Chain A
């Protein structure tokens, strides 16, 4: 429980820090880079390194590459659907999380399993 709480606090702080940083930049396309900042990765890997060691963290980082490719697909679809069809942000960004999950697990199965 203590470890989960620690992850929550550190993760929340790092994610907030990158979000604040992204918020101060213009133009919007540049600020958008921070929407895919390695905030969760930095928080998680720091704690994983302390609790489970280097080999474990390196395996997480390897899978993260696949997750990032899924993120690329996810963000590209959002950009396209909101621009062309003017769909609302919340249903598009939430619904497409299923696409992230699908792409991430499919790539993991094909490339890493």
Chain B
């Protein structure tokens, strides 16, 4: 299946769904700072890969898929579970990319400008995740 961009999803998303993501994202970022201050960067750093908004995002996706199928007069529970499963499978690949992000920052931060390191690490996350996704698709 080809990668497609569907901008209508931005309009279809309700305001409170954006608010939920903002809230959880803000809370975990604030909490990570507090944890690092209290227990040090070694423990605090673990939470840079904490799946903070995953439960909220998966629940919203499940609700959307169920509603979509039920509008068509079909039973949506099974389709919703499959959608969450597929999304989580994608996230598991993204998590490997996340470890590449951490590795790039850890190994290059002492040498290169910080902005370049963060940019390079984000590109490395994108590239490694995309490559692994492509590989998995072909398997």
A-to-B contact residues, CB < 8 Å? 3-5, 7-16, 19-20, 23-49, 52, 54-72, 74-76, 78-80, 82-83, 86-90, 92-94, 97, 100, 104-105, 108, 112-113
Contacts and interface: CB of A to CB of B under 8 A. Distances in A.
Contacts of A83: 81-82, 85
Contacts of B109: 54, 57-58, 61
Which of A38, A43, A72 is most buried by chain B, counting CB atoms within 10 A of its CB? A38
Given A71-B51, A79-B85, A108-B43, A24 B28 contact: no
A60 B51 CA distance: 16
B70 interface: no
17 contacts: A12-B26, A13-B22, A31-B87, A44-B32, A64-B45, A65-B106, A66-B49, A67-B48, A71-B49, A74-B95, A75-B89, A75-B91, A76-B88, A82-B85, A83-B81, A93-B59, A104-B49
Contacts of A11: 25-30
A24 B6 contact: yes
A61 B125 CA distance: 13
A67 B58 CA distance: 20
Contact of B53 (A15, A74, A88): A15
Nearest to B103: A65
B1 interface: yes
Contacts of B42: 59-60, 62-63, 108, 112-113
A112 B49 CA distance: 16
Contact of B29 (A27, A34, A44, A62): A44
Interface in B76-122: 77-78, 80-99, 101-103, 105-106, 109-110, 114, 118, 121-122
A72 to B, nearest CB: 4
B97 to A, nearest CB: 7
Nearest to A23: B9
Contacts of B23: 12
B114 A54 contact: yes
Contact of A41 (B10, B87, B91, B101): B101
B91 A97 contact: no
B90 A33 contact: yes
